[in-house]
Amino acid sequence: MRIAQIAPLAEAVPPKLYGGTERVVFWLTEELVRLGHDVTLFASGDSETSAELEPCWPEALRLNQGHLDPMLAYAVMLQRLAERAGEFDIIHAHVDWLHIPLLRGRGAPFVTTLHGRLDLPNLPECVARCFADASMISVSNAQRTPLPHAHWVATIQHGIPLDQFAPNFAPHRYLAFLGRIAPEKGPESAIRLAQAAGLPLKIAAKVDKSDREYFDNRVKPLIDGDKIQFIGEIDERRKQAFLGNAAALLFPVCWPEPFGLVLIEAMACGTPVIAFRAGSVPEIVENGITGFVVDPDKASTAIYRVASLDRRKVRERFEQRFTGRRMAEDYLRSYEQVLAMSPAGFTSSAVSEPRYPSR
């Protein structure tokens, strides 16, 4: 099958540091290539892939502080997509809504995975009016709840290559918080829980510009460099040791989490999760097996119980539920479903032009 993967331009594929969607796109693309499919990845030029790379902008936008308006970069991506749309059996987009009018107008078979939160003002009305017939994939059942009437093809949970992380069955005595510093992610709650349990907490997270004030005023004063340590953003190499050595991952979110990639990254390391009951969490974490799904007032008790969980069983459940191969096979079934509903014979006569502006 000839497949196009359309990645966000915020991060490289895979990301150099933090980045969830782009990392999932990388794992999916690599698995599809290994399964023998002809895959083209539309992404930033500093991406790395076994597929054909269609570089739509020289560098990922977030780490290149000198970039122009990001919408210009996405306009270039959409132009390249329009020119090449006829080359693919199916186009799989991960860029929210930007591509839908373009591809629907050209009759190209496509499917969209939505990676973010969907409980947004006016979104149901916009989807009903503009995107009602567009094939959508959710990453959890909880994510799709605000849009019950969208054209959902499937829910496909994320997956990680089996060899991405090695399990560690002899952890150190600290708790971990990994991801992004933002109120909805609950870093303050993680700190309070660690302090109540008398355990060290290591925080590996990025701080966006929009969350800098929150970090400086609410989180930074709680970091003492001893019991509460802030490490900053980490890459994949450091993530293995960070998660694998932790006694547990704290995931005290207070928002409708669409998936929570760090949950299965921890499981891949054999590390159990203590997570607040919100969004996708009950779908991902098996209570009493891969961690504990708790209400905020029960989280401290769960920390004391985490040593009773079998880290080998945590890894085993990861291998059974959350591998990259399973994810790719699920997506292939969805592609076939979308193609069965699409008109045949779409072609493009577009001429290929330069792939992105020179710097």
Please check whether residue 349 lies inside any domain of the structure: no
Q: Is 20 a residue whose pLDDT tops 70?
A: yes
Same domain, 96 and 211: no
Instruction: Please report, for residues 15, 78, 115, 161, the alpha-carbon distance to residue 164 in angstroms, rounded to integers and kept in the order given.
Output: 14, 32, 21, 5
pLDDT score at 284: 98
Same domain, 40 and 90: yes
Same domain, 233 and 146: no
Same domain, 51 and 144: yes
Give the mean model confidence (pLDDT) for residues 345-351: 41
Other beta carbons within 10 Å of 133: 10
How much is the mean pLDDT over the chain? 93
Decide: helix, strand or coil at residue 210: helix
Same domain, 37 and 145: yes
Decide: helix, strand or coil at residue 319: helix
The beta strands (E) that lie in 139-290 are given as 152-155, 175-180, 201-206, 228-230, 248-251, 273-276
Domains contained in the chain, number: 2
Same domain, 156 and 128: yes
Q: Is 340 a residue whose pLDDT tops 60?
A: yes
Q: Is 23 a residue whose pLDDT tops 80?
A: yes
- Per-residue pLDDT band at 359 (split at 50, 70, 90): very low
Q: Which residues on adjacent β-strands are paired with residue 111?
A: 92
Decide: helix, strand or coil at residue 318: helix
Q: What percent of the chain has pLDDT over 90?
A: 87
Instruction: Look at the chain and count its residues.
Output: 359
Same domain, 259 and 303: yes
State the Cα torsion 320-323-325-328 to the nearest 10°: 110
Burial group, residue 104, by CB count within 10 angstroms (0-12, 13-18, 19+): middle
Same domain, 69 and 12: yes
Residues 171-188: tens digit of each pLDDT: 999 999 999 999 999 999
Q: Is 352 a residue whose pLDDT tops 60?
A: no
What is the per-residue DSSP string for 59-109? S-STT-TT---HHHHHHHHHHHHHHHGGG-SEEEE-STTTTHHHHHHHT--
Same domain, 193 and 142: no
pLDDT score at 112: 98
pLDDT score at 68: 72
pLDDT score at 357: 44
State the residue range of the domain holding 328.
Answer: 2-160+323-341
β-pair type (90-93, 2-6): parallel
Taking the C-alpha atoms of residue 294 and residue 292, their distance in angstroms, rounded to an integer, is 6
Residues 129-173: tens digit of each pLDDT: 999 999 999 999 999 999 999 999 999 999 999 999 999 999 999
Residues 218-241: tens digit of each pLDDT: 999 999 999 999 999 998 889 999
The CATH number of residue 337's host domain is 3.40.50.2000
Same domain, 51 and 40: yes
Same domain, 105 and 203: no
Please check whether residue 65 lies inside any domain of the structure: yes
Residues 58-95: tens digit of each pLDDT: 999 987 766 578 899 999 999 999 999 999 999 999 99
pLDDT score at 66: 64
pLDDT score at 344: 58
Taking the C-alpha atoms of residue 55 and residue 1, their distance in angstroms, rounded to an integer, is 21
Instruction: Choose between 135 and 209: higher pLDDT.
Output: 135
Same domain, 183 and 259: yes
Question: b/e per residue, 138-177, with b = 16+ CB within 10 A?
Answer: bbbebbbeebeebbebbbbbbbbbeebbebbeebeebbbb
Structure letter (DSSP) for residue 49:
-
Type and span of the H or E element at 33:
helix 21-34
Please check whether residue 74 lies inside any domain of the structure: yes
Q: Is 342 a residue whose pLDDT tops 90?
A: no
Q: What percent of the chain has pLDDT over 70?
A: 95
Give the mean model confidence (pLDDT) for residues 269-275: 98
Residues 277-318: tens digit of each pLDDT: 999 999 999 999 999 999 998 898 999 999 999 999 999 999
Q: Is the peptide bond before 161 cis (omega within 30 degrees of 0)?
A: no
Please check whether residue 118 lies inside any domain of the structure: yes
Instruction: Please report, for residues 45, 61, 70, 179, 191, the alpha-carbon distance to residue 57 in angstroms, rounded to integers and kept in the order given.
Output: 6, 9, 10, 26, 39
Spatial contact of 40 and 52, defined as CB atoms under 8 Å apart? yes
Taking the C-alpha atoms of residue 175 and residue 248, their distance in angstroms, rounded to an integer, is 5
Question: What are the φ/ψ torsions at residue 52 (nearest 5 degrees)?
Answer: -75, 130
- Per-residue pLDDT band at 32 (split at 50, 70, 90): very high
* Confidence (pTM): 0.92
pLDDT score at 77: 97
